[in-house]
Structure 1
Amino acid sequence: MGSCIICGTSVDGRICELHEEDVVFEFRGTQPDELTPGRYYRGTVDGYAEFGVFVDIGDHVTGLLHKSELDQRLDSLDWDAGDTVFVQVKGVRDNGNIDLGWSIRQDESSFRGTLVDDPEADAEYLAEEDEAGNAHGGATDGSSPASAEREEGTDDEAGDDGATESAEPAETGVGAGNATESGESEKAEESAPRAGAVAAQTEDRPARAGSVDDRSEGAGAAAGEAEAGETPAAEDGDDAESVDGTPTFEQVTIDSLADRVGERVRVEGEVVTARQTSGPTVFELRDETGTVDCAAFEEAGVRAYPEAGEGDIVRLEGEVERRRGELQVETEGLVVLEDEERDTVTQRMDEAMLQRARPDEVDPLAADPAVESALEGVRDAATAVRRAVLEGRPVIVRHSATADGYLAGVALERATLPLVREHNTGADAEYHYFDRRPLEGSVYDMDDATGDVTDMLSNRARHDEQFPLFVFLAAGGTAESQDALDLLGVYGARRVLVDEQEVDADIAETVDVLATPDEGETTATALAATLAAHVNGDAREELRHLPAVSFWEETPEEYVDLAEEAGSGAEETTRMREAVALEAYYQSYEDKRELVADLLYGEGDLVEHVSEQFRERMSAEVETAEANIGTREVGGETVLVLDTDAYTHRYEFPPDRLLLDELYRRHREEAAALFGVGTDEAFVRGDVDVRTLVERAQEDAPEAGLDARGAREGRVEFLAGEREAAQEALLAALAESL
């Protein structure tokens, strides 16, 4: 039995089932059938074909990454022959052909570990074990033979300050002998911190004088006399020295590290993640100015500083280096701060982060009384989103699967993605740190929340990811969402609600940030576009036409003018609205990021093509409905009644709510309300409070299970077996409501 190189779980091998997809394998075999389907492998580009890319996995082992597996067009790939890429082996056919799948992780540092897959030795082992000259397969107890050999008698030869990268290794041990003969390889330099870091962390020799460990233990007279957090002055570019000649560390902020490569520094901040690789432990450290990876090496695959975990406030010392083009601190000492020291650093970070994240005074895109009355809440919401990006926290946007919902979500997306790219270097950062998840209606229910909580817990367990910030756009504002929002709150996930309508009192008290108008009427998109403009001022120009697109009728002149200035006239904004409404219906639970962006920002005939489909399908459905619509005199008012089960095409576009909206716009001059009734739900269009309507109807049909769960959409649910009773009770209640 061995132990998982990531979590330490006892396994038969070197990786547990939970973390197998977090490891990339280097294949040492020569036959396709020696590959393990489902695993991710490092490969090199062999060449292109019309139908995909050929990738060499090992000697004489080549697979096909078919273009259907790519997340982009084949001709947009910037891979050249010989480039290192990462792919998943989907399967190996009987004829030896290898089917490959796409990996969103195209950098080895994005994986949490690397193992060698060596069929000849019938083993999997750490790359460091092979580099050290050990027998393939190495130890199976989770320890590294290379590290074991390093521990045998090398401490005395390392010197008081530890060996540097250029120092010759000790001559004891097989690994040392190989290194002496061949020199230190670039790969070895990248996979583990310098030897000095190891020496500083071993228990059987003292740490450097003046280091974090010395001060925490009270060792060293100069360190003992210094106040906590104070650092002796140091000249830029030089290692400072204390009075006894030992190196000290200059306290700096993370944003200054690019100018301090090669220097020893001290950084205070919060541990965002702590991930164990096949070599060092990598702490992602955040202070008030940014984040940086800090590598700490105990021995290959062994957790360094196990007392420090996610959320801890720490003081870390080490040398600034560049590895694979990225800044990294090679950790020489780390302590978890407690009590006053922790509180001081936390307060400093919070104040600085709030100052960085909070936008200047909010300036609406156009004169809109409703938006202007919500500006303070909009500013708070923008601060929350900006802060999440700065902290490396994912942003999850929940919105309804309507044209207005999609437009509102896209507005925030267009503003946030550039910030995500700026503050995260990963190739897939914009997909990892920002996600839109449409809802079927405006209610955020327990099914939705359970899915979100499951995802965020899984991402924390698998990838050490922080809990996300949830932003609700015109969704979650009614009491029916209370339980689901509470579930997020149990885990401490922050919730921002931006709504163009008044929200229920309990919801207002539940969410962490609320932005809603005190007066007037507007759309969710108008509010979200103003929010987005203050999340990222550079995106303001891209947002100007979106509010005009969101109004189905009576678009305010200010937004019409704004759209025209942006190059979108009334006809174009109408076509965009129709196209987005159509695409919002299909695969309604998907964000369709690229497709919707093409509709709103692309060139060509796409918008006209999709909007034409909208008009054709809507026209045909309206014609059928109008031929079968009935009238009822209710309380002296005319109410139009449509059996949506009998006279609409169920499960086809347009959905009932969109069809009834269009019918009401066409016939509201001749009728006070429109009532559409289906198998177990009804829609009401008119100047009616749906909740009050349901309360009155419940008195006449107590067995019908009437529920105003979809009150925002004018939707009422009831038991299918009580349809007739529910319909009559609702129509009778309309007489009192109109």
Structure 2
Amino acid sequence: MKEKCSECGGTGARESSIQKCPECKGSGKPKSMNLMELSENDVNSFLKGSSVCEKCGGSGEVEIKDPCPSCGGDGFLYNCDLCGKSIDHLIDGREICKSCNEVKVVHVLDDSCDMNELSVGKYYHAEVNNLASFGAFVNLNSNLRGLIHSSNIKAKLEPGERLVVEINEIRSDGKMDLLPRIVGEHKVVEVEKEIPVRISSELKDYVGKLVRIEGEVLQVKQTGGPTIFVISDEGGIIPCAAFESAGERAYPDIDSDMVVSLTGEVNLRGEDLQLEVKSMKQLTDEREQTVRQRIDRILDQRAEPHDIEFLVKSKLLEDLRPEMKEVARIIKKAILRSRPILLRHHADADGMTAGVAIEKAILPLIREVNGQDGEYYFYKRSPSKAPFYEIMDVTKDISFALEDAERHDQKLPLVVMVDNGSTEEDVPAMRQALIYGIDMVVVDHHHPDKVVDDYLLAHVNPAHVGGDFGQTAGMLSTEVARMINPDVTEQIQHLPAIAAVGDRSESDEAYQYIDLVSSRYSLEDLQDIALALDFEAYWLKFNSGRGIVNDLLNFGDYIRHKKLVSLLCEQARAMMDEQLEACMPNVKSQQLPNGAIMNVLDVENYAHKFTFPAPGKTSGEVHDKICRKNEGKPIVTIGYGPDFAVIRSRGVKMNIPEIVRQLHEEIVGGGVNGGGHLVVGSIKFVGGMRKKVLSKLVEKIGQYEVDMEI
């Protein structure tokens, strides 16, 4: 490869000085002349005295130039075509350095190469294909075949044998006459067809044409026919089909997460584009890094969250905006890289609205990137019974993720936790996920513990900016969903109001969200939807129940929505009334030293089990009924079982996470753990220590300040 010398501009020299002509000594006249060698015109000019010095042209001066030191006076700089090193001059008219000229060059043809990349006299690596009486047919690549005539075969050849051949002749009909060659030390040069690199989003303009793309392998799927490589580049993803033989793995050395250069023909399969692979190879070192950086740069731009205005006015939300944008960015980038999304949420009205808000935002993007059936391979929503990530949850998630990775060659998922994930109780499960390289982000409003941030990519929690549980997960997740995909705003803007009512939020944001949708949903409507969600969540257990939940949240037929909500509320209220009828006579009350009224109920022995409402919901309903009878008074209700207690309070400025930590330290052998919000939560303990734990719990609650102006 040569390029014009920048030092001399291609002239090969640089101006030095003007000097007296050395031939004529500055006279401009010729020093001497041989009349016998002059033409008739030159003789006439000489006789007339008009003959001039040939060197200076009669001026008596000449311009003396020094050779350019950069190019040595050649005007061009050369680089060896084989090794790329700078060279001073051509060797036998070829741009090749001395060391490469002394070593034989053997070319390896990429499968994209055709006759245009061949040259007579050059050496090529080849493989014997089959034998005939008149010679041996050998392949230079999957497209090019030539013949070694039997007269040129000195040693026996076998099919599949590798050898070096020289092209002796290329005939007009494309047939090649090859000669076997034995080479000692030699240099291998890979030859690719020179095709511009395209990006996947451009391929619709190149149907039927040969193109080259560079990108990361997301998946490798073996079908009964070809092997499908799903490639991601800065334009998106493209499925690439490579065929070896029916059901046989093509390019077995290429796996997911590798960066490859791929040449193929663009074809249509139905309405979708597919690349029929001609050649593919892994990129390494500098080329790999260049491609990865190029893809990451573009994906970072595409993953940038939308700069939305929040649905309500809130300084707290504005303070949380950077963390919310980071969660949105991570989720969008995972989608663009075809990384599965596993959405975990608490199984109540707040958790379900939070999860569905994210779901509605990301499903259109997942389909856009991975096709219409992409959601079945790249998305899963799973409710969690507890308001934290349990060991049972993570065990299921890891198991399913590993099975999908093996079955579909998928990456391990990004876990998105909403309405759980902020507390120390989540850490054991998070540590398991981290071992497998599963990344996690959290949008939650439970009182956070700092330790969880060691395991998360991003964490949204109102407590980080001075807020509390009143800013519910459903509110926060809806705004994050709008940052991901603002097109779903109208569809999901009623979800924060349902979350606020379902979680009994009294924050300023809650009232604004409720007022935002008041023309479509009355407060009674919102309460009914929240109750129906809680009721259905109990029966769904660990099932996402997408269809039923969509109907409850009015994403389908409105008439069916109204009928379903009405029926479920009727059933839920009947079961709650039956539960309260059994529970209320067994509630024991006492006044604490701080003036709060303490109510306790043994939900194990004085409540219906294995039915709706569950112990937590039962304790909440008992608490609400007692609060209605004692307006303006501070109330605490504890529903306890053999090894747990559920706490509900009004007007007592307690801190349940702090109480749990103190009980854990003070009661040796109690096995106390738990958490929740500051004034609403639950604790667990070992059954044999129940009396001591509950006594200490009541003692600590009685020490907190109360608000007498409720």
Same fold at TM > 0.5: yes
Aligned to 2:231: 285
| Matching residue of 1:614 | 572
Aligned to 2:368: 422
| 1:218 matches 2:189 | yes
Q: Which residue of 2 aligns with 1:672?
A: 635
Query: Residue 195 of structure 1 corresponds to which residue in structure 2?
Result: none
- Aligned counterparts of 1:580 and 1:288: Cα–Cα separation in 2: 41
Distance 1:709 1:548 in 2: 25
Counterpart-to-counterpart distance in 2, 1:202 and 1:558: 78
Tell me, yes or no, if structure 1 residue 717 matches structure 2 residue 652.
no
Residue 475 of structure 2 aligns to which amino acid in structure 1?
A: A
How far apart in 1 are the matches of 2:354 and 2:471?
12
Specify whether residues 610 and 261 from structure 1 end up closer, same or farther in structure 2 by C-alpha distance, changes over 3 A only: same
Q: Which residue of 2 aligns with 1:301?
A: 247
Rounded to whole Å, the distance in 2 between the matches of 1:360 and 1:671 is 44
Which of 444, 463, 470 is residue 415 of structure 2 equivalent to? 470
Alignment of 1:62-211 (within 5 A): 162=143
Aligned partners of 2:670 and 2:231: how far apart in 1? 57
**CA displacement, residues 265-284 of structure 1 (integer Å, 9 cap, x when unaligned):** 11000011122333332211
CA separation of 1:630 and 1:308: change in aligned 2, threshold 3 A: same
Aligned-pair CA distance for 1:701: 4.7
Q: Which residue of 2 aligns with 1:213?
A: none
CA contact (8 A) 1:294 1:328 kept: yes
In the other structure, the counterpart of 1:568 is: 521
After superposition, what is the alpha-carbon deviation per residue over 1:558-587, rounded to whole angstroms, capped at 9, x for unaligned? Answer: 21222135x222222121111111111112
Any conservation in 1 of the 2:347–2:384 contact (CA below 8 Å)? yes
What displacement does 1:160 show? 8.7
SS at match of 2:703: helix
Q: Which 5+ residue runs of structure 2 have no aligned equivalent?
A: 1-127, 146-159, 171-186, 706-710
Q: What are the Cα deviations for residues 14-46 of structure 1, in whole angstroms up to 9, with x where unaligned? A: xxxxxxxxxxxxxxxxxxxxxxxxxxxxxxxxx
**What's the offset of the Cα at 1:596?**
0.4
Find out whether 1:546 has 2:517 as its counterpart: no
1:581 and 2:534 aligned: yes
* Contact 1:441 1:710 (8 Å CA) reproduced: no
Q: How many residues align?
A: 523
| TM superposition shift of 1:459 | 0.9
Q: In the TM superposition, what is the alpha-carbon distance from 1:544 to its structure 2 partner? A: 0.9
Structure 1 403/302 Cα, relative in aligned 2: closer, same or farther at 3 Å?
Answer: same
Deviates more, 1:708-717 or 1:276-285: 708-717
SS at match of 1:564: coil
Q: 1:298 to 1:581 in 2, by over 3 A?
A: same
Task: State the Cα distance separating 1:414 from its structure 2 match.
Answer: 1.2
CA contact (8 A) 1:697 1:732 kept: no
Q: Which residue of 2 aligns with 1:121?
A: none
Residue 551 of structure 2 aligns to a residue whose secondary structure is helix
Q: Which amino acid is 1:282 matched to?
A: I
- From 491, 494, 500, the equivalent of 2:436 is 491
Say whether residues 1:529 and 2:478 are aligned partners: yes
Match of 2:702, SS state, is helix
Report the CA distance shift for 1:584/1:207 in structure 2 as closer, same or farther (over 3 A): farther
Q: Following superposition of structure 1 onto structure 2, how do residues 266-665 of structure 1 map, counting pairs within 5 Å? A: 266-427=212-373, 429-517=374-462, 518-520=465-467, 521-552=470-501, 553=504, 554=506, 556-565=510-519, 567-601=520-554, 602=556, 603-604=558-559, 605-637=563-595, 638-665=597-624
Once the two structures are TM-superposed, the CA of residue 502 in structure 1 deviates from its matched residue by 4.3
- How far 1:697 sits from its partner (Å)? 4.4
By how many angstroms is 1:151 displaced? Answer: 6.6
Asked if 1 retains the 8 angstrom alpha-carbon contact of 2:221 and 2:228, the reply is yes
Name the SS of the counterpart of 2:338 in structure 1.
coil
Q: Structure 1 pair 368/217, CA: closer, same or farther in 2 (3 Å)?
A: farther
1-structure distance, mates of 2:211, 2:166: 16
Asked whether the 8 Å contact 1:272–1:283 carries over to 2, the reply is yes
Q: Which residue of 2 aligns with 1:85?
A: none
Distance 1:314 1:564, change over 3 A: same
Report the TM-score when normalising by structure 2: 0.68
> Does the C-alpha gap of structure 1 residues 407 and 707 become closer, same or farther in structure 2, counting only changes over 3 Å?
same
Residues 158 and 606 of structure 1, relative CA distance in 2, 3 Å threshold: same
Residues in 1 aligned to 2:166 and 2:418: alpha-carbon distance in whole angstroms: 53
TM superposition outliers: structure 1 runs of 4+ over 6 Å:
149-155, 157-161, 201-209
CA deviation after TM superposition for structure 1 residue 203, in Å: 7.1
- 1:376–1:710 distance in 2 versus 1, CA, 3 Å: closer
Cα displacement string for residues 573-631 of structure 1 (whole angstroms, at most 9, x for unaligned residues): 12111111111111221100010000111322111111222222223323433332211
Structure 1: 5+ residue stretches without partners: 1-148, 165-200, 210-215, 224-246
Partner Cα separation in structure 2 for residue 318 and residue 514 of structure 1? 43
Secondary structure at 1:374's aligned position in 2? helix
Q: CA deviation at 1:370?
A: 3.3
Cα distance in 1 for residues equivalent to 2:249 and 2:130: 16
Q: Give the C-alpha shift of residue 661 in structure 1.
A: 2.3
For the residues of structure 1 that align with 2:682 and 2:544, how far apart are their CA atoms?
Answer: 24
Deviations 1:460-496, CA, capped at 9 Å, x for gaps: 1111111111101021211121121122222222211
- Describe the SS at the equivalent of 1:265: strand
1:439-468, CA deviations, whole angstroms, 9 ceiling, x for partnerless residues? 111221222212211111111111111111
Amino acid at match of 2:671: G
Q: 1:660 to 1:203 in 2, by over 3 A?
A: farther
The structure that has the greater radius of gyration is 2
Change (3 A) 1:697 1:495: closer
Residue 548 of structure 1 aligns to a residue in which SS? helix
Instruction: Report the Cα distance in structure 2 between the residues aligned to 1:361 and 1:202, rounded to whole angstroms.
Output: 62
Query: CA shift at 1:674, angstroms?
Result: 1.3
Q: Aligned equivalents of 1:621 and 1:655: distance in 2? A: 10
Alpha carbons 1:399, 1:438 under 8 Å: kept:
yes
1:308-344 per-residue CA deviation (whole Å, 9 max, x = no partner) reads 2110111111111123443221222222111111111
The share of aligned pairs that are identical, in percent, is 31
Displacement of 1:289 in angstroms is 1.2
CA distance in 2, matches of 1:639, 1:502: 23
User: Over aligned residue pairs, what C-alpha RMSD do you find?
Assistant: 3.2
2:671 corresponds to 1:705: yes
CA contact (8 A) 1:362 1:375 kept: no
- 1:683 aligned to 2:654? no
Structure-2 residue corresponding to 1:194: none
Q: Distance in 2 between matches of 1:151 and 1:262?
A: 31
CA distance in 2 between counterparts of 1:700 and 1:634 reads 21
